[in-house]
Amino acid sequence: MTPEQQLELITQTAVHVETKEELLAKLRLGRPLRVKAGFDPSAPNIHIGHSVPLDILRAFQDLGHTVVLIVGDFTARIGDPSGKIKTRPALTREEVDDAAKTYFAEVGKIVDVDSAEVRGNSEWLDGLDFADVLKLASSYTVARMLERDTFAVRMKREEPITITEMLYPLAQGYDSVAVEADVELGGTDQLFNLLVGRDVQRFYGQEPQVIVTFPLLVGTDGKEKMSSSIGNLVGIAEPADSMFGKVMSISDETMLHYYELLLKTPAEELAEMKSAIRDGAVNPRDVKLDLAERITARYHSADAAAAAREEFLRQFSGREMPTEMPTVTVGADELTDGQILLSRLVVKCDPSLSNSQARRLIGQGAVELDGEKVTDPVATVTPESGAVLKVGKRRYAKIEVE
Question: What is the distance between the alpha carbons of residues 161 and 81, in angstroms, rounded to a whole number?
Answer: 10
Question: What is the distance between the alpha carbons of residues 178 and 174, in angstroms, rounded to a whole number?
Answer: 6
Residue 163: its pLDDT value, please?
Answer: 84
Question: What is the distance between the alpha carbons of residues 275 and 272, in angstroms, rounded to a whole number?
Answer: 5
Assign domain 3-214 to a CATH class. alpha beta
Let me know how long the chain is: 402
Can you say whether residue 364 is alpha, beta or left, with left for phi > 0 and alpha for psi between -120 and 50 degrees?
Answer: alpha
For residue 132, give every residue at least 6 positions away whose Cβ sits within 8 Å of its Cβ, in sequence order, or none.
Answer: none
Low-confidence ranges of the chain (pLDDT < 50): 81-83, 85-87
> Which residue type is seen at 123?
E
Residue 82: its pLDDT value, please?
Answer: 46
> Which residue type is seen at 93?
R
CATH of domain 327-401: 3.10.290.10
Phi and psi (nearest 5°) for 339?
Answer: -125, 165
Residue 44: its pLDDT value, please?
Answer: 64
Question: What is the distance between the alpha carbons of residues 343 and 355, in angstroms, rounded to a whole number?
Answer: 6
Q: Three-class SS string for 44-72?
A: CCCEHHHHHHHHHHHHHHHCCCEEEEEEC
Question: Is the bond preceding 19 in cis, omega lying within 30 degrees of 0?
Answer: yes
Q: Which of 225, 187, 236, 240 is nearest to 352 (CA)?
A: 236
Question: What is the distance between the alpha carbons of residues 74 and 263, in angstroms, rounded to a whole number?
Answer: 35
- Per-residue pLDDT tens over the stretch 238-281: 899 999 999 998 888 899 999 999 999 988 999 999 888 888 88
Residue ranges, comma separated, of all CATH 3.40.50.620 domains in the chain are 3-214
- 8 A C-beta contact, residue 216 and residue 268: no
Does this model's pTM top 0.85? My answer is no
Q: Which of 315, 254, 237, 300 is nearest to 45 (CA)?
A: 237
Residue 148: its pLDDT value, please?
Answer: 82
- Per DSSP, what are the bridge partners of residue 225? 218
Q: Which of 219, 241, 225, 229 is nearest to 393 (CA)?
A: 241
Residue 358: its pLDDT value, please?
Answer: 87
Which helix (DSSP H) or strand (DSSP E) does residue 272 occupy? helix 267-278
End-to-end CA separation in angstroms for the chain? 59
Residue ranges, comma separated, of all CATH 3.10.290.10 domains in the chain are 327-401
Residue 181: its pLDDT value, please?
Answer: 96
Question: What is the distance between the alpha carbons of residues 383 and 390, in angstroms, rounded to a whole number?
Answer: 13
